[in-house]
Structure 1
């Protein structure tokens, strides 16, 4: 199988962890046109949104990390990564949903300031403070969700753990990790020791170390960061509407497919 991905993408990390947990071989590939919004080439043919991850299995191309994981779980049900009980399965999916939407957006917004320097001075300080405060809320929610269990799936590692792991780990990378000794911090220490997660986090660390040189591409127009759904919402509600307006003016941000006629894509 071919997996179009980026090592920093939390969505791609989630998929790689699951594929590795199930022992499924795959070839990771960073699309040459990633971040450009180009609509030509094999990447755009596989996913018109030109977003990672995309899983290509034989003649089928699947995008959206949750849809990918549904496909993987149904095609390769062993070992199961979703609980069999319908209520427990719903709880796991809700945990994944919050991570894919609210948590990812906060991490992404913090990265816009840290890595891509979308804001400076007082605005940067404000956005960092907003991200830190919202991260604490999300981590408290996850801690309550985990409770006294070892894993988010109960007594065994599961898909919810695969979804939470990249989010909490990026917070740790940003210096916004859970309180030492707390429920979520202990879970993070456990999860990072799993081979599937350790390999995925190592790829993240290697890519993060190169972000300083890559970030310039996204501030000069060589690449454009995609502002979509919860990400756009986060930037505006957190006080960063100036960031969005500047990105539109300088053509350094983009919006998802389909392309607006006569305007930004």
Structure 2
């Protein structure tokens, strides 16, 4: 199998964790046109949204991280990541949904300020404060779902754990991790040493160390950050509409396909 990915993508990390949990061999690569929105070449042919991850299995190309996880669960049922009980399966999927939308957007917005300097001064401080406050709300929600269990699936590592791991770890990287000694912090301590996760997090760390140098590509127009659905909503509702307008003016942001390449 072959995977189009970026080590910083929480969506790609989730898929890599699942592949490694299931013992599926794969090679990973970042598409040559990643971040450009170009509709030419193999990346757009595999996924017109030009988003990672994309999984290639034989002649098939599968995009959208949740769909990929579902495919892997069907293709490699052992070990299962989803529990058998319908209510427990719904619990895992709801946890993933919130991580993939609301929580990912907060992390993404914080990164726009930290790595890409989309705002400075008072606006940057305001957006950081918004991201910090919203992170605490989301972590409280996750802590409630975890309870006193070892894993979000109960006694076994599963689907929800694979979804939460890259999202919460990004907060830890930003210095916004859960309170030390809390059950959620202890969960992070357990999950980060699990082999499938440890390797994925090591790849994240290596890529994050290069972000300061790479960030200029996204502000000079060489690559453009994608302001998709929940990310755009977060920036606007959190008071960063000026960031969006500046990105449109400078031509260094983009919106999703179709018509997203500006």
Q: TM-score, normalised by structure 1?
A: 0.98
1:52-131 matches, cutoff 5 A = 52-131=52-131
Kindly provide the CA deviation profile for residues 180-216 of structure 1, in whole angstroms up to 9, marking residues without a partner as x.
0001000000000100000000000000000011000
Q: Counterpart of 2:244? A: 244
C-alpha distance after superposition, 1:167-191 (max 9, x if no partner): 1100000000000000100000000
Q: Distance in 2 between matches of 1:182 and 1:7?
A: 28
Partner of 2:36: 36
Equivalence for 2:198 = 198
Alignment of 1:77-226 (within 5 A): 77-226=77-226
- Residue 45 of structure 1 pairs with residue 45 of structure 2: yes
Q: Deviations over 1:54-73 (max 9, x none)?
A: 00100110000000000000
Q: How far is 1:259 from its partner?
A: 1.2
In the alignment, the residues of structure 2 paired with residue 249 and residue 31 of structure 1 have an alpha-carbon distance, to the nearest angstrom, of 27
Give the drift of 1:127: 0.2
Cα RMSD over matched residues? 0.6
Q: Distance in 2 between matches of 1:205 and 1:59?
A: 32
Q: How far apart in 2 are the matches of 1:17 and 1:183?
A: 22
DSSP-derived class of the 2:50 partner: coil
The 1-side partners of 2:255 and 2:94 are apart by 26
Q: Give how far 1:17 is off.
A: 0.2
Runs of 4+ off more than 3 Å = none
Q: Distance in 2 between matches of 1:154 and 1:133?
A: 28
Number of equivalent positions: 262
Cα shift readout 1:75-112 (whole Å, capped 9, x = no counterpart):
10000000100000000000000000000000000000
TM normalised by structure 2 equals 0.99
Q: Deviations over 1:19-59 (max 9, x none)?
A: 00000000000001000011111111100000000001001
Match of 1:179, SS state, is coil
SS of 2:141's equivalent in the other structure is: helix
Work out the CA distance in 1 between the residues paired with 2:113 and 2:59: 40
The whole-number CA distance in structure 2 between the counterparts of 1:27 and 1:218 is 26
Structure 1: runs of 5 or more not aligned: none
